[in-house]
Amino acid sequence: MGSLLSPEANAEVPREALSFHGNATGAQVHLDDQRSTARRRSTFHDGIVFSQRPVWPGERVALRVLRHEEGWCGGLRVGFTRLDPAQVAASCLPPFVCPDLEEQSPTWAALLPEGFVRAGNVVCFWVNRRGWLFAKVNAGRPLLLRKDVLVQGAPLWAVMDVYGTTKAIELLGETPWGPDTECGMETKVQMTSCA
C-alpha cells in the first residue's frame, strides 16, 4: 500500500471502519475483542496504539475518552505516522509517542489540551492536505495542533498515546457530528507542542 493517497480516489473506495491495530500496541495496552477500546493497565506510559489501516487526509478519527485518572501530568497524544504498524513488533515500541516515536520514525503527534481529555468527551482529529493537524472536542471549534505533517508520498496511520491522565479510549465508527468547515478555514489557531 505504498501508493499516493488522494481524497478524490478515496471518494470511490468504501472505507473500512477504524479499529486499533491488534498487534502493535504499547506494553501496558489491553484491547477489547473488537479492537475498538484501548485501556492502559498501569503506570502512565507504554500506551501507544495505531489504527489498523491508513487514514486519508481530511478523514476524521473520532474517539471517546472512557476513563480519566487524576494524579498524573499530561494526557492523550494524537497524530499520524508513516510507520506501518503491521511491520512493528510491539516489543520495539518506545514508552512515549512524544518525543520517542517521533525521533525514531516519521511520526507527527501533539498533546491535547487538558480540557479535551475528560471522561465522556468525544475527540476528533485529522490532518488536512496541507499537513496541518487539527483536533476538536464535542463538536467544538477546531484547534490547530501542528503544521508539519508530511501527507504526500506514503500512507499515514493514526497514532494515539493513552498517556498520563488518559486511562482508556474508544474509537468511534463515525464522527458523531456532521461535516464541519474546510480544514484550512478554522478561525482560532493555537499550537500545542508535545513537551
Note whether residue 55 is domain-resident.
yes
12-46 pLDDT tens trace = 455 789 999 999 999 999 999 999 999 999 999 99
Note whether residue 8 is domain-resident.
no
| Strand spans (E) along the chain | 29-31, 37-40, 48-54, 61-68, 77-81, 107-111, 122-127, 133-137, 143-146, 157-161, 166-171
Any idea which residue has 490532518 for its cell? 127
110-132 pLDDT tens trace = 999 988 899 999 999 999 999 99
Q: Examine the pLDDT at 99 and tell me if it is beyond 80.
A: yes
In terms of C-beta density within 10 A (0-12 exposed, 13-18 middle, 19 or more buried), how is residue 54 classed? Answer: middle
pLDDT band at residue 9 under the 50/70/90 scheme: very low
CB 120 within 8 A of CB 51: no
Note whether residue 191 is domain-resident.
no
Residues found in the chain = 195
- Asked if the peptide bond before residue 99 counts as cis, ω within 30 degrees of 0, the response is yes
The pLDDT value recorded for residue 13 is 56
Strand order in the sheet with 133-137: 29-31, 37-40, 166-171, 61-68, 122-127, 133-137, 143-146
Q: Examine the pLDDT at 188 and tell me if it is beyond 80.
A: no
Note whether residue 156 is domain-resident.
yes
The pLDDT value recorded for residue 194 is 57
Q: Examine the pLDDT at 191 and tell me if it is beyond 60.
A: no
Note whether residue 2 is domain-resident.
no
The pLDDT value recorded for residue 115 is 81
Total of domains in the chain: 1
Residue 142: give the domain boundaries.
18-176
- Output the domain CATH number for residue 121: 2.60.120.920
The pLDDT value recorded for residue 5 is 41
Note whether residue 60 is domain-resident.
yes
For residue 167 the three cell numbers come to 486511562
Higher pLDDT, 139 or 174: 139
Note whether residue 185 is domain-resident.
no
Average pLDDT over residues 57-73: 95
Write the CB contacts of 18 (distance below 8 Å, at least 6 apart in sequence). Answer: 51, 52, 53, 55, 61, 158, 171, 173
Note whether residue 169 is domain-resident.
yes
CB 82 within 8 A of CB 188: no
CA 57 to CA 124: how far, in whole Å?
Answer: 14
Higher pLDDT, 101 or 185: 101
Report the chain's mean pLDDT, rounded to a whole number: 86
